[in-house]
Amino acid sequence: MLQLLINGKQAVLPPDFNVLLERSNPLLEFDGIRGARALNFKLPYDDVNNAIFGFYGNRNVSYKHAEYQCEKLYKGRSVERGYLKLLSSQSGFEVLFTENLSNIFGDYDTYSLQKLPFADIAIPGVLDANADESNDAFCWPMIRNDQFYGSNQGGYMGYVNKYADGAYEESPKVPFFFLRWVFEQLTAITGVKFTGTFLEDEAMESLILYNTHCLDGLSSITPGNHLPDMSIREFVNELRKLFNLAIWPNVWKKEIKIDFAKNYFAADVAVDWSKKFGKIRGKKPVLESRLELDWELESSDAMVSQIPEDLDGYLTDVGSEIPGIFPITTKFSTLAMQNGLPITSQQGVSALNGQQSSRFAPRLLFWRGLIDGLPLASTSSGTGTVVNLKWNGANGLKETYWEEFEKFKLNTHIYEGEANLNAYDLALIDSHRRAGELVKVHVQGYNYMIGRQQITLPGNRLPVLELWKC
């Protein structure tokens, strides 16, 4: 009933073979992007399996450091896809199964965005004050910063990308790259395609990455200089913690779908699994149920050393009735605003005055274009649904993206039990491969979000599911 295809070839299994598969739900986890995993298992040594593994069972064959595509078929239906890593050929072939999310970006998996091989871009002869967020790579918003050159101010007038009377004036020039463009380039470099409602959203299209690396003394723009010092994986996960994103990676397809998680929590339940469980009795409380949202503010910006009200974090207000806190903190933050302009007070990165060692933290703004004669960026979006880059208040991040999750955390409890699932069911709740197609079910009067799964194949033991009440 269970078949194992390795690089498309059916492996020989031992008579008593079984494997425990563990899955998680990305909607309920915030500490990284995880895939399914299985404990190490052994395949018998025979000619078929030896050929599959490149004859590594022969004494004279060296280790090839290969990763083998592996597909588990249960009753003829594909229930899991991933990769095998060969660990040993002593007394059989010992292997480890994983979805291999840790290596989805290949050689670039651990690279900082600043070190990726982006192509340099010529500095435009005339800077565009009204860049198009749908097509352009970067824009040039005017930023108030009285400390850009530190103690070596000279004739500096306190503005980055200073603009007046229809033209950019003498000032440090800093390009701000669109988030959309960065994802496009990550696809070009790594081969991993990014899709989903987050990248299709009109407001998100205007997001730009703030930085302080100016073009003093440079003849071209090196994109990595203007991006935060974080890996691709960290970049995606920190955005996830800002906008409550659902991350659905598919390693075989080399695709990552990024959706707004709120849509999954708000969606209706269409599948009734009441008869797949025995009578549900008992439950476990979720003790950490008060939602706390916060960000790491730029430590070198004097304007946020005393946290402005608009940059304060959020905590579910239920008094002392529920003491347990569920904290989510992202490395992304934003800038303070003053008189319609972003304002900061921090030293920039410049080839002048020995400022090459200055650094900047990950921060976001919305590009607003040319408004009232000035190229503006803001903490408030100007297109699509209005979004404010602040946790609290109307159109803030909590209200816009986290409302459904907060209600879920306050009202949920957990039931864990066996479920009589067939091969089709097991395939359907493979959340990464099916991109969250089925994450909620109705069971005996209540709707539940499916959490962790423990699946033993072949099905001589029933799968154990964790159900979170919606």
Angstrom distance (rounded) from CA 239 to CA 85: 31
107, 138, 172: which is the final residue of a domain? 107
**Cα gap 54→32, rounded to integer Å:** 34
The answer as to whether 296 is a domain residue is no
What does the pLDDT average to over 178-187? 98
Q: Are 116 and 108 in contact, with CB atoms under 8 Å apart?
A: yes
Q: What is the mean pLDDT of the chain?
A: 92
Question: Over pLDDT 90: what percentage of the chain?
Answer: 73
Question: How much is the average pLDDT of 101-106?
Answer: 80
The pLDDT-based confidence of 165 (bands split at 50, 70, 90) is: very high
Q: How confident is the model at residue 23 (pLDDT cuts 50, 70, 90)?
A: confident
From residue 410, alpha-carbon distances to 286, 305, 470 in Å are: 8, 32, 10
* Domain annotation covers residue 279: no
Instruction: Give the type of residue at 28.
Output: L
Asked if the structure places residue 228 within a domain, the reply is yes
Answer yes or no: do 43 and 76 share one domain: yes
Are 84 and 121 contained in the same domain?
A: no
β pairing state of 220-221 and 41-43: unpaired
Write down the pLDDT at residue 323. Answer: 75
Identify whether residues 95 and 143 lie together within a single domain. Answer: no
The pLDDT confidence band at residue 97, using thresholds 50, 70 and 90, is: confident
Nearest to 100 by CA among 91, 109, 92: 109
Domain end call among 388, 408, 423: 388
Read off the pLDDT of residues 281-324 as tens digits, 9 standing for 90 and up. Answer: 899 999 999 999 999 999 999 999 999 999 999 999 886 666 79
For residue 144 the two structure tokens come to 């108030």
Domain C-terminal end among 388, 406, 435? 388
Cβ atoms 377, 176 nearer than 8 A? yes
- 55 and 195 share one domain: no
State yes or no: pLDDT of 236 exceeds 80. yes
pTM of the full predicted structure?
A: 0.92
First and final CA of the chain: distance in angstroms?
35
Percent of the chain residues past pLDDT 70, beyond the cut: 97
Q: What band does 21 get if pLDDT is binned at 50, 70 and 90?
A: confident
Q: What is the pLDDT confidence band of residue 459, given thresholds at 50, 70 and 90?
A: low
Name the H helices within 65-208: 179-190, 197-200, 202-205
- Average pLDDT on 118-135 reads 97
- Note whether 52 and 134 are same-domain residues: no
pLDDT the model gives residue 351: 86
pLDDT for residue 425 is more than 70: yes
Residue 124 pLDDT level (bands cut at 50, 70, 90): very high
Distance from C-alpha of 363 to C-alpha of 238, rounded to nearest angstrom: 11
Most confident range, picked from 71-80, 110-119, 377-386, 419-428: 110-119
Query: Structural domain tally of the chain?
Result: 2
Q: Between 321 and 262, whose confidence is greater?
A: 262
* 12 in a structural domain: yes
Could you tell me if residue 440 is left (phi over 0), alpha (psi between -120 and 50 degrees) or otherwise beta? Answer: beta
Whether 376 and 239 map to the same domain: the answer is: yes
8: in domain: yes
Does the pLDDT of residue 39 top 70, yes or no?
no
CA distance 21 to 275: 23
The tokens 């503006």 sit on which residue? 376
pLDDT band with cut points at 50, 70 and 90 for residue 138: very high
| pLDDT(34) > 70 | no
Give the domain range for residue 130: 110-260+331-388
> Where is pLDDT greater, at 320 or 244?
244
**pLDDT at res. 158:** 94
Secondary structure of the chain: what % helix, strand, coil (to 5)? 20, 35, 45
pLDDT score, position 76: 87
Per-residue pLDDT, averaged over 383-403, amounts to 93
Average the pLDDT over 338-363 and give the result. Answer: 91
Q: Which residue matches tokens 């005393």?
A: 306
Count Cα neighbours of 46 within 13 Å in the Cβ-side half-sphere: 9
pLDDT of residue 449 exceeding 80: yes
Cβ 453 vs Cβ 464: under 8 Å: yes
**Same-domain check for residues 86 and 121:** no
Selected residue with higher pLDDT from 336 and 150: 336
Highest mean pLDDT out of 177-191, 316-330, 448-462: 177-191
